[in-house]
Amino acid sequence: MKDFFNALADPSRFFLIFTVAVLAMLRWREFFTAPKVALTIFAGAVIFFVWALKDPGFKANISKPDNIPIIFMLFLVGYFSWLSLYRAVKNDRRIDRGELPEEAVESPKKVLVWPDLVYSEFICMLIGTAILVIWAILLKAPLEEPANPNKTPNPSKAPWYFLGLQEMLVYFDPWLAGVILPGLIVNGLMAIPYVDTNPKGNGYYTFKERPFAITSFFFGFVVLWVSMIILMTFLRGPNQAFFGPFEQWNLHKVEPTVNIQFSQIFWQQWLGTSRPINWLMREMPGILLVLGYLAVTPIVLAKTVCKKMVTQMGNPRFLTMMIMFLIMVAMPIKMVLRWTCNLQFIVNIQELALNI
Amino acid sequence: MAEEGIKDAGATFFDVKRLNRWFLVSAAAMTVAYAWSVVQDHDREFKSYQWRFFELEREQAEAQGKAAFSAAGGATVVGDGAKTPGGMRDEIERLKGMLAADHAERPELATRLHDAEFVYATTNASMKLAKAIFEAERFVYEEKAHHLGEHDLSAPQGDEAKTAFAKYQILKGEYDGLDEADKQAEADRNIARNELGRFDALGNDVATRLEVTEREVARLEKRADSLDDERVFTQFRNSLLFNFMAPTVAPRKFVVKEILDDLNFLSVPKVDMCSSCHLATDRFKDYPAGNAHVTFGEEGNEPRFEDDSPAFRSHSKPELYCTSMSPHGQDRFGCSGCHGGGNQRLAFATSFHTPTNKDEREVWEDERHWHPVHEWEYPMLGSKYLDASCYKCHTQEVHIPGAEKWNRGRDLVAKLGCFGCHKMAPFDGFRRVGPPLGHVAAKFADLDFMLKWVDNPQSFRPTTRMPAFFHRENRATEPGRDQAEITALVTFLYNLTTPQALKSYPGNGDADRGKKLFGEHGGVGCLACHSIDDFPAGESKVDKLDALRHGPELSGVGSKVKPDWLFTWLLDPKSLWPETNMPNLRLTESEAADLVAYLMTKRNVAFEQSVFEKPADDKIYEEILVEKLKERMTGARAAQEVRNMSGFEKRRKSGEFLLDHYGCFGCHEIPGYEDSKPIGTELNGWGSKHPDRLDFGMVEMDWKAEGYFNREAWLTQKLTNTRFYDRNKDKKPFEKLKMPQFAQLAEGAPDADREAVMDFVFSLVKDNTISSIRRHLTPDEESVERGRRLVREKNCIGCHLLYGEGGEIRNFQLGEEGAAYYPPLLDGQGARTQHDWLDRFLNDPVMGKGRGAPAMLRPWMKARMPTFGFTQEQRNDIVAYFAHEKVWHTSTERGLWDSIAGKFKRDFPAYDDSTMRKANHSKIELFHDLVARTYQRQGGSFIYETDFPQMSKPAPLSDADRDHAREMFVRLQCVLCHMPGGVVPKGKTAADMAPDLSYARERLAPRWVAHWLETPDTYQRGTRMPGFWKPEAGVRPTNDPNGLNDPDLEMALLRDYLFTEEFATEYREIAKRAGG
C-alpha cells in the first residue's frame, strides 16, 4: 500500500494525477460538489492522514512546525474550491432557470460601513491575531545556529510560500525562474482588471459564464502553484531528490539525471549530424521554436478557435492575455519535456550565459 | 433610502447584538492569548532553579549560623533562627559580658604595674648614680695606686692607698646593694607588666572573637535577608511586568573574552549563561560535588532532597576551576570553552546537554524532553571526553597533568602510529613507528615469513602493533584477492631490497648462557622493553605490564630473523636502523652470540607450519593492474600492457600500486617513498568536524532516527571495525575502505583504550582560543618537554622508576635478591647529580670503558645502562628535563607545605589521604602542582630545586677539618655499603650495597648531598641509607666532647670531604683497611 503511494508520488505521475483530478473536478463539478460526495472525499483524506501518520517518517515530515501552515493550506484550498464550485453550480442552475444568482437575492445592494464592514472586520482581526498568538506559543520557532556558508542545510528550502518558485528552478534557468517568471506573475495579476473586462461573475459564483477564466485560474493556482508547494515540501528530500511520502530520506539516494539540450535532439538525433560550431546556427532551431511558440501560436489561435474571444476582447487585450497564458502553459510543457526527454534547455547559449 | 436604513435598526446587514456578542468573545480570546503569551515569557525554566536555589541558600545560611554558633562555644540555639541564624546573638552577649568583666579587673593590674614602674625607676636612678660615683672613685684609687707603685690592687700596702681603697670599697658595697634592689624592682615590674599583657591578650582575644562573631552574624543575616524570598519586595521586583527594574531572578553569565564563539563570519567572546541554572558550581564548601551528571544519583551521590539536581551541586574539580587560586578560574575560562554546549540557551532540552550513556539518555528523553539537536556545531562533550578540551590551551605539552585519559590516548596514538597515515599536529615530524623495509631480505628468515606476517601479523605475535590489513569483512566477497595482494606487496618489497653489510654470527653461542643474560634477575635489560614466554612477569610487583610494551614480544623471534642480522642488531642496533629506539647494551661479541643462540631457539612452530597459499594463476594480478591502469588509459590498452608483462612483473607492478594504496610508507621507511604524503584523512580539526561530513554509509538513516548520528558513535564504530561503513555497499576493490584494524582497539579490546584514543582525536579541534589564554612554554620549558618526550620514547622508565611511574623491569627481578638489581630511581635526578656528569653519563654510561664493562657506580647490577647514542641537543633536553622536573615538590619547609596541603585536602575531598593512596601518577602530579602554587606564593622552596645550568661547588677543606671529616667517615662505616669498585664484602649481599663514592666529586650535587645526609628517606622512600643526624637516630656521629657538636656543621664537613681532591685516594685506603 505504502509502495503504491510512493509510486504515485513520482513527480510526473503526481503532476499528471493532480492535473487530471482538477480538470475532472471542473468537468464533473455537479457530481463532485454534491455534499455527500465532497464529504466522502474529505473523510477519505482524513482517513488517509490518520493511517499515514502511523508511519514515523511521514509523521515527522508532516508535523514539522514549518510544515503546519501547508497542511492548513491544503484543507483550506480544498474547502474553498469546493465552496466556490458548489455555489457556482447552484447559481448556474438558477441562471439556466432564468432566476437571479443567490447572492443577488440574499444581500441588499448596499450595506453600512459601520457596523457591517468595520465592526465585522475588527472582530475578524481580533480572532485572527488571537489565533496567531496562540499558534506562536504552542509551536515555538527558536533561532537556529548561525548561518554557515560551509554547511548549508540539506535540503535547503525556501519559505513554504515560495516553494513553488523554487520548484521552477528545477526546470528553468535561474534568470527565468527567479527573475522573469515571478515578475510576469506579479505583472500578469496586475493586468487582469485591464485585460478581463467581462462583467459576468462579479459578486456571485458561476462557472458556466466564465469557463475559460475559471479553468485557467484553477490550473495556474491549484496545479501550478499549490501542487508545486506540496511537491517541494513533502516530496523533495536531501539533495533535492524525490522521495515518496513513506520513503526514508536517505542522503545517499541517487537520481538518474542527465542533461540534454534541444540542439542536441535536433541536430544529432533528428538530422544525424554533429552540431554546428557557430552558436547562433546551433541554437537557431530552439530560438525559432521559442519565437514561434510566443509569436505564431497567438495568431493561429486568433484565426481559428479563439475568433469569438478576439472579437469580444479586441486585439491588444487578446495578445496580452494570450502571451501570459502561453508562458503559464510553458511551465507544464517544460516539466513534461524534462521528465520524458531529460531536456534541460530549449535554447542553451553558454557563450552568452543565456538559457531558455 | 440610506437614511431610512440608518433609522431602521433592522436595516443593518448583520445583527448588531450578535456582533456585540462576537466582539465580546473575540476580545476575550485576544486578552487570554495575550496574557498567556506574557505568562509564557515570564515563566522560564531557569527561574524555577533560581527560586529553589534561594530557598536552599536560606536553609544553608540557617544551618551555617547554627553550626557557627556551636563552634563558637555557645550553649543553646534560641529562637527559630529564621532571621537571626542560630543563637549567635547570645554568644555575642556572653563575649561582651566577658569583656565588661575584664574591664572591671584591669585597673587593679594597671595600678600594680604603675607602682612597680615607679619603684623600678627610682631604684634604677639611684643605682646608676651610685655606679657612676663608685666607678669614678675606682679610677681615683687605681691612679693613686699607680703613682704609689702599688702592684696588688686587691691588697693595698701604703696608707694613702689603703684609705682610697677603703673609700672605694664602701662605695662599691653601696652600689652592689642598689644594683640588687634594682634587679629585684625590674623583675617585679616585669611580672606586673606580663600579668597585664596576658590579661590584655586574653581581652583582645575575646574582643576579636566578639568582632568575628558579630561580623559573621551580620554576614549571615544579610545573606538570609537578601535571600529571603518571602519578603514582599523580592517577590515584587521579580514579579510579572515589574521585573524589568531590578530583578534578582535573572539570567547570569560569564563573558569569556579569551575564548571565542565562531559565528562563521564573526568570532565573538563567549557568553556563558550556564550559571543561570548551575548556581552552585563554585560553592564547593556549601554544596557537595556532583555536577557531573555521570555519577548523580549513583551510590554515594544520592539526591539529598526530593528535587535535588546537578544544578545544585558544586563543580567536581573546584580546585582547578572555581577558586581564586585555581589555574583556570571560572571568570576567565567560563564553562562552555571546555564543556562545549549551547552556552546562551536557557533550557535543558535545547542547551545541547550530552548524555553519558544510553540509560541516562532514556531518562532524559522521558523526563526532561531531551532530544538530539542540530543547531550548534559544538555540543557538550560527553563527560567521558572532557579531557579533550585541555589540549586547546595545553598544546605544547607531552603530558597534561590531570588529563589522564588524554595522556593515555596520546601515548596510544604515538605507539600505534596513527599519525603515519593521518596527519595531526602533535606528531608533526615524528619518526615512523615501524622498522625500515629497505633490507628485508637480509633481515627475515625467508620470504614465506613475510607473506604469512602480512597475511595476519597477530598469528605470529598476538601483541603486535602492526594492524591487520587483510581478511577484513568488506573483502569477503572476493576470494583469493587478499592472498594475491599480499603476494604482490611482498614481491614488490623484496624486489626493492638492497644488500646490507652484516656481521656474521660465529655460531658458537651458548643458549643457556644467553637465556641467563636475557632474563636472570631481570637480565642485562632486554626485559625492560621486551617480553618473552620464558620469563613471565611477577604478579604483585610494580604494575601489571602495559598491553603496549615498548619493544616487541620475542617468544617467536627465532622464526622471524636470520642469526647474522640478529647478531649485528644486538651489537649495534643503530648500524641497521639509525633511528631505532633500541639502545646499544654494549654487549661483547660472545655475549651477543649467546643471546643469538638463545633467541634462535625461540620459535613459533605453529606459525612456521602454517601455509600461505599463493594464488594459482595471475588472474587477480591482472584485475588489479587493469583496474589501476584504466584510471589513465582505455581498457583495451591496459589489457594490452598487462598482456605484455611477465608473471613476475605483474606481481611486482600490482605490488607497487597496492603499496601506494595502503600507504605502507606511513609507518615504514621504504626506499623511494621517503617523502610520500600520508594517505589518510588529516585529523587536525577532526574534533570540530560536523557529523554531516562523516560517511556513515547505509546506517546513516537508522542512526539519525535513533539519535546516534554524532562523532562519538561514528568513531567508536570506526575504531572497533574499520571497514564497518562499507556494509551493504557495492564498491570496486580499490574504492573500498582500507584502514587496517588495530587489535588494540578492536572489538573485545579494553573500552578504556578506545575511549582514550577517541579522547585524543576529539581534542584536535578548530582553535577558538585567544593566544593569551593558552599555555605558552618558555624555551627552557620547551626543552623540558622535549626531554620528557625523550624519557618516554626511549623508555627510560622501562628500567627506572620515575615518581612512581614505570620500572617495568622490576617485574622480572624476582627472588629474594631481586631488589638488589632494581635500577636506581630517577626521582629528583636533576638535583642529585651534576648536570655535566649526567650529560657525560648519558653519552657513555661507562665513560669509555667499552663493551662488557660493568656499571661504574653499582657494578653488581645485572641490568646495564645502555648507550642510546643521544645527540648533544637531546642530552641537553634530558638534563634540562631532570633539572626542572619539580613534580614531586618535596618542600624544604615541611610545616608550611603540610599546612597548605592539609587545608587543600580538607577543602577538596577528591584529594584526601584515602583517595590519594590509590591515585595514579598524573593525579599526584596535579595535586602537587596545585599545592605548590600556594606554597610558592607564600615563599616556600623545594629541595629538588637546583641551580641550572651551573652548580656551585664547596670550598676546599683545611687539613684539620679534613682530618675531622675523615674520622667521621670512618666512624660511620660508610664503606661497609659504599665499597669502591662495588666489591661485595663477606657477609653482605648485593642488596646491601650502595653506589661507589669514588665519583662523588664529579657526580653529586653538593646541595643535594647536604639534604640527603639529613633526611635520606624524604628523597627516596625505603632507602637503606640511615639518617645519622636525625634526632631520633640516637647515635651521634661524633662523640668528641671537645670537637664539634653541631649537626649542621658535621654534615657540611662530611659533605665537603666528599668533594675534596684527596677523597678518592683516602676512600680507597679506608676501604682497604675495612675490607682487610
Q: Tell me, what's the pLDDT at A108?
A: 63
Which residues have C-beta within 8 Å of that of residue A355, sequence separation ≥ 6?
A173, A175, A176, A344, A345, A347, A348, A349
Tell me, what's the pLDDT at B221? 66
Chain B contact for A56 (CB, 8 A cutoff): yes
Mutation pick from A109, A112, A114, A250 vs chain B, by most beta carbons of B within 10 Å, is: A112
Q: Categorize the per-residue pLDDT at B595 as very low, low, confident or very high, splitting at 50, 70 and 90.
A: very high
pLDDT band for position B1 (50/70/90)?
very low
Residue B760 scores a pLDDT above 90: yes
Tell me what pLDDT residue B943 has: 62
pLDDT in tens, B1001-1010: 888 888 888 8
Interchain CB contact of A123 with B (< 8 Å):
yes
Between CA A32 and CA A93 the distance in angstroms is: 16
Chain B: nearest CA to A136, how far in angstroms? 9
Question: What is the average pLDDT across B786-790?
Answer: 90
Which region among A296-310, B3-17, B365-379, B788-802 has the lowest average model confidence (pLDDT)?
B3-17
Chain B partners of A126 at a C-beta cutoff of 8 Å? 23, 26-27, 29-30
Question: Above 60 in pLDDT, residue B528?
Answer: yes
Are the Cβ atoms of A123 and B40 closer than 8 angstroms? Answer: no
Q: In this complex, which of B12, B29, B690 lies closest to A151 when CB atoms are compared?
A: B690
What pLDDT band is residue B520 in, cutting at 50, 70 and 90? confident
* pLDDT tens for each residue of A134-186: 999 998 877 777 777 777 888 888 888 888 888 888 888 888 888 999 999 99
Confidence of residue A56 (pLDDT cuts 50, 70, 90): confident
Please give the residue of chain A at the shortest CA–CA distance from B38: A137
**How high is the pLDDT of residue B150?**
79
pLDDT at B534: 85
Query: Please, which pLDDT band fits residue B1038 given cuts at 50, 70 and 90?
Result: low
Of residues A160 and A47, more confidence is placed in A47
- State the nearest Cα–Cα gap between A126 and chain B, in angstroms: 6
More confident residue, B359 or A30: A30
A248 closest CB neighbour out of B13, B40, B701: B701
Task: Quickly state the pLDDT bin for B900 (edges 50, 70, 90).
Answer: confident
- The pLDDT of residue B683 is 94
Whether this model's ipTM surpasses 0.85 comes out as: no
| pLDDT, tens digit (0-9, with 9 covering 90-100), for B255-282 | 999 999 888 788 899 999 999 999 888 8
Tell me what pLDDT residue A55 has. 87
Size of interface A-B (CB pairs under 8 A): 88
The C-alpha cell at B525 is: 635489560
Q: How far is CA B929 from CA A82, B228, B400, B680, B943, in A?
A: 80, 41, 12, 38, 15
Enumerate the residues of chain A whose CB falls inside 8 A of the CB of residue B30. Answer: 126-127, 129-130, 133
Task: Indicate if the pLDDT at residue B50 is higher than 80.
Answer: yes
Nearest CB among B11, B29, B375 relative to A145 is that of B375
Give B12 to chain A, closest Cα distance, Å: 7
- DSSP letters for B666-690: GTS--TT-TTPPP-S---TTGGG--
Query: What is the C-alpha to C-alpha distance for residues B738 and B65, in angstroms, rounded to an integer?
Result: 67
Closest approach of A9 to chain B, Cα-based (Å): 21
Q: How confident is the model at residue A19 (pLDDT cuts 50, 70, 90)?
A: very high
Contact A56 B11 (CB under 8 A): no
Residue of B nearest to A148 (CA): B264
- Each residue's pLDDT tens digit, B239-258: 888 888 888 889 999 999 99
What pLDDT, on a 0 to 100 scale, did the predictor assign at position B1044?
54
Please answer whether residues B458 and B607 qualify as being in contact, where contact means their C-beta atoms are separated by less than 8 angstroms: no
Residues of B in contact with A137 (CB under 8 A): 33, 36-37, 40
pLDDT band for position B523 (50/70/90)? Answer: confident
Question: CA of B18: which chain A residue's CA is closest?
Answer: A120
Note whether A252 contacts B690, CB cutoff 8 Å.
Answer: no
The string of pLDDT tens digits covering residues B670-696 is 999 988 899 999 999 999 888 888 888
Residues of chain A contacting B34 with CB distance shorter than 8 Å: 133
Closest approach of chain B CAs to the CA of A153, in angstroms? Answer: 10
Of A116, A126, A148, the CB nearest to B27: A126
Here the cell at position B687 is: 574534533
CB contacts, 8 Å: A112 with chain B:
5-6, 11-13
pLDDT reported for residue B890: 62
Question: Taking CA atoms, what residue in B is nearest to A249?
Answer: B701
Overall average pLDDT of the A204-211 stretch: 90
Probe site for chain A from B3, B6, B12 (most A CB atoms < 10 A): B12
Q: Over chain B, what is the mean pLDDT?
A: 83
Please give the Cα distance from B944 to B954 (Å, whole number).
18
pLDDT at B84: 43
* Contact flag A136-B37 (C-beta cutoff 8 Å): yes
Residue A345: strand, helix, or coil:
strand
With 70 as the cut, is the pLDDT of residue B945 above it?
no
Interface test with A, best of B4, B7, B14, B344 (most A CBs within 10 A): B14
Chain B interface residues facing chain A, Cβ-Cβ under 8 Å? 2, 5-6, 11-14, 16, 19, 22-23, 26-27, 29-30, 32-34, 36-37, 40, 263-265, 350, 374-377, 690, 692-693, 698, 700-701, 705
User: Using the beta-carbon criterion (under 8 Å), do A134 and B33 form an inter-chain contact?
Assistant: yes
Locus of grid cell 472579437: A311
Suggest the residue from A105, A123, A249 to mutate for an interface test with chain B (most B CBs closer than 10 A): A123
Q: How far from A261 is each of A268, A342, A346, A350, CA to CA, in Å?
A: 10, 8, 6, 11
Q: Closest residue of A to B22, CA-based?
A: A123
Whether residue B941 has pLDDT greater than 60: yes
A156 part of contact set with chain B, CB < 8 Å: no
Q: Are the Cβ atoms of B29 and A126 closer than 8 angstroms?
A: yes
- How far A146 CA sits from the closest chain B CA (Å)? 6
Range name among A281-295, B318-332, B717-731, B973-987 with the lowest pLDDT average: B973-987
Handedness of CA B408, B410, B413, B417 (dihedral sign): negative
> Which of A119, A138, A140, A150 to mutate to probe the B interface, most B CBs <10 Å?
A119
Give the pLDDT mean for A89-97: 92
Cell of B357: 550513556
Q: Is the pLDDT of residue B6 over 50?
A: no
Cβ-in-10-Å burial (0-12, 13-18, 19+) of A278 comes to exposed
- Chain A residue at shortest CA distance from B692: A151
A65 interfaces chain B, CB cutoff of 8 Å: no
The amino acid present at A34, given as its one-letter code, is A
Q: What is the pLDDT of residue A165?
A: 86
Is the CB of A129 less than 8 angstroms away from the CB of B377? Answer: no
List chain A residues with CB under 8 Å of B26. 123, 126-127, 130
Average pLDDT, stretch B20-25? 95
What are B978's three cell numbers? 659504599
> How many angstroms separate the CA of residue B718 from the nearest CA in chain A?
19
Q: What is the pLDDT of residue B828?
A: 79
Mean pLDDT value of segment B844-862: 84
For residue A115, give the nearest of B19, B350, B374 by CB distance: B19
CB B168 within 8 A of CB B145: no
pLDDT, average across residues A49-65: 86
pLDDT, residue B291, reads 60
From the CA of A257, how many Å to the nearest CA of chain B?
Answer: 21
Average the pLDDT over each of B1-15, B49-63, B286-300, B620-634 and give the range with the smallest value.
Answer: B1-15
Instruction: Please give the pLDDT value at position B764.
Output: 93
From A116's Cα to the closest Cα of chain B, the distance in A is 6
Relative orientation angle of helices B45-71 and B88-148, to the nearest 10 degrees: 50
Q: Do A250 and B700 touch (CB under 8 A)?
A: yes
In the structure grid, which three cell numbers stand for residue A276, read together? 554546428
pLDDT, tens digit (0-9, with 9 covering 90-100), for B715-742: 999 999 999 999 988 888 899 999 999 9
Q: Could you tell me what percent of chain B has a pLDDT over 70?
A: 89
Residue B952 CA to residue B975 CA, distance in Å, equals 26
Apex B391 CA angle, B390 and B395, nearest 5:
135
Q: Give A110-113's long-range contacts (Cβ < 8 A, gap of 24+).
A: A110/B2, A110/B5, A111/B12, A111/B13, A112/B5, A112/B6, A112/B11, A112/B12, A112/B13
Contact assignment for A111 to B13 by CB distance below 8 Å: yes
If pLDDT is split at 50, 70 and 90, which confidence band does A26 have? very high
